[in-house]
Amino acid sequence: MSVPFLLTPAQMRRIQPYFPRSHGIPRVDDRRVLSGIVFVIQGGLRWRDAPPGYGPHKTLYNRFVRWSRMGVFSRIFAALAGEAGEPDRLIIDSTHLKAHRTAASLLKRGRLAGASAAPRAG
């Protein structure tokens, strides 16, 4: 079964220097594994749901965890962001949470541990 690579060979060459070097046995094609990792994360899937063409799901998971701990993805993102220069626009996130109207009364009554309001003497 053939699966599409999500990165072109040119894109892979740009990020190749940030991957750890192979010691001894050459690794499975990093482009295929990275495409599988992106496929799973982009779709919000379980590792087991990755098509077999990307390789064993255990390989995808292990490589993702190992590279995350080693900071491989952080270095790639930092390098690619640094190449872009100054952004021409900024985005402000307006995410907010709603609290129930009785949530404010919990501080007044001292029911939250460590709250700034002192508990009432009974």
Asked whether residue 11 is domain-assigned, the answer is: no
Asked whether residue 23 is domain-assigned, the answer is: no
User: How confident is the model over 76-97, as pLDDT tens digits?
Assistant: 999 888 887 787 888 887 777 7
The amino acid that residue 76 corresponds to is I
Domain limits for position 58:
29-84
Asked whether residue 54 is domain-assigned, the answer is: yes
Q: Rounded to two decimals, what is the model's pTM?
A: 0.66
User: How confident is the model over 14-39, as pLDDT tens digits?
Assistant: 998 898 888 877 777 888 999 999 99
Give CA angle at 106 (102, 110), nearest 5°. 165
How many domains does the chain fold into?
Answer: 1
Asked whether residue 9 is domain-assigned, the answer is: no
